[in-house]
Amino acid sequence: MAGPKHSCGVVGISAGSGVAHPLRTALMILQHRGQESAGISVFDGNWIESVRGDGLVEAAIPADRAESLKGTAGIGHVRYATTGSKGVINAQPITVKIASGMLSVAHNGDITNFSVLRDEYMREGRTFLTDSDSELILKLISKHLSEDPDIVKAIRAAMGELDGAYSLAVLYNGRVFAARDPFGFHPICLGKVEGGHMFASESTAIDALKGEFIRDIQPGEICEITRDGYVIHAMEGAHPHSRCMFEWVYFARPDSVIDGREVYEVRKRIGMVLARECPADVDLVMPIPDSGRAHAIGYALAAGIPYEEGFMKNRFAGRTFILPEQKLREAAVSTKMIPIRSTVSGKRIIIIDDSIVRGTTLKILVSMLRDAGAKEVHVRIGSPPIIAPCYYGVDMKTRDQFIANHYSIEGIREQIGADSLGYISLGGLVEAIGMPADELCLACTNGKYPTCIKGEEYRFS
């Protein structure tokens, strides 16, 4: 399987004036998609210069260093890494000098045939500096470019070799391209900005640059943006789609619109469906901030139960999910979220979160609510039980880590200490997203994978 697993964020801009600053701003808006490293690459008319570093965008790409990159075409990346894959060496974009100029690539997703392709290339004598899928993609494109100087054909040929999930940003000399895998796992969309055009993993990045959303880049498309316009190169023939449901449920910003569906609206609808499918007689509905907020608003509206903010989240706390040990994760969750006593004391409460993976978060929060005097604590979840690993870029990797593979729903309820537990049904989730089930990737909830993964069930056979 691939090296570092990541669901990241990408951006590209081609404009009449300097792009380094707007690239940096767009990456700040995509920060939730990755906090481990960030980088930008800009073509200065002759050479591609990059600034890349560890940490949040503000630190990884210092404003003065961004200012020093002069050029009107560039791409950028924020990276979500798991514990084993940190280090600035894996930061993106990755850039190389090739016979016809310079090439830089950044990528969001996971390439499922990474090891096979990389081994093949290494046997041919090619070398790799990093463990990342993006370097493999870069090498594939540059190999095809050495055979035919047409960059669109080279990207298309590379796409023909790649399996899995990829939303790509490619900078070839002064030309800027986006590409989305034929299944369309992760989002990427196109917009017009002052003096030019851009693409980004999420539409909010276009809003932040006061741009105008044009359209989603469709599965299988390659899109070249220029200062004056854009050119779409669609793929030939029909191909099944498999959009990641977790983008709407958890990963994307609520204010982004993905493939025509606003994330906030979808989450609210999830809450409404949950209220219908899993009602409870309680005094108030509370979110687990931040990801459960819109789900909880939907639930409260549909059930006619008051909505309250009963947890304060420490907004400066780091990510608990990727900590390497259970003890560390538990300690981190218990200081990240503190209940507001006056809101919860003596109340019958429903708390709503987007998902349960290991069960760490809810086990601790339910017990905190009881300590703060809650009379009853009911839990509702905006996705069906997560039971199967994601091979396409979401950090959920082993079957063993999922609590739903060890306990029944009643068993999970007991483990987290709730008075009742209800998950949205798969049908309810599909209804809330508003797209046919066969257009979505639901593999983490049903184990049916849209691409061939050794040892897993293939959905399309």
In whole angstroms, what is the distance from residue 441 CA to residue 439 CA? Answer: 7
Which residues does 27 contact at the CB level (< 8 Å), separation at least 6?
9, 11, 38, 40, 57, 61, 76, 77, 78, 205
CB of 288 within 8 A of CB of 311? yes
CB of 365 to ligand AMP, least distance (A): 9
Closest C-alpha to 227, from 203, 197, 200: 197
> According to CB under 6 A, which residues from 253 to 292 bind ligand AMP?
288, 291
CB of 134 within 8 A of CB of 105? yes
Beta bridge partners of 244: 441
Q: Is residue 394 within the footprint of ligand AMP (CB under 6 A)?
A: yes
Exactly one of 360, 377, 430, 433 binds ligand AMP (CB under 6 A); that residue is 360
Region of 9-17, 388-396, 428-436, 440-448 interacting with ligand AMP (CB under 6 A): 388-396
In whole angstroms, what is the distance from residue 247 CA to residue 141 CA? Answer: 28
Annotated catalytic residue: which of 8, 244, 390, 441?
8
Q: Is residue 361 within the footprint of ligand AMP (CB under 6 A)?
A: yes
Q: Is residue 250 within the footprint of ligand AMP (CB under 6 A)?
A: yes
CB of 167 to ligand AMP, least distance (A): 17
Q: Is residue 142 within the footprint of ligand AMP (CB under 6 A)?
A: no
Binding mask 335-354 for ligand AMP (x = CB under 6 A): ------------------xx
CB of 458 to ligand AMP, least distance (A): 23
Region of 102-110, 160-168, 295-303, 390-398 interacting with ligand AMP (CB under 6 A): 390-398
> According to CB under 6 A, which residues from 395 to 434 bind ligand AMP?
395-396
Q: Is residue 356 within the footprint of ligand AMP (CB under 6 A)?
A: yes
The residue count for the chain:
461
Tokens of 222: 């390659």
CB of 155 to ligand AMP, least distance (A): 28
CB of 285 within 8 A of CB of 299? yes
Minimum CB distance to ligand AMP smaller for 278 or for 390: 390
244: annotated active-site residue: no
Q: In this structure, what is the dihedral angle of CA atoms 212, 218, 224, 227, given to the nearest 10 degrees?
A: -10
The answer to whether the bond into 371 is cis (omega within 30° of 0) is no
Residues contributing to the site for ligand AMP (CB under 6 A): 250, 288, 291, 321, 353-361, 394-396
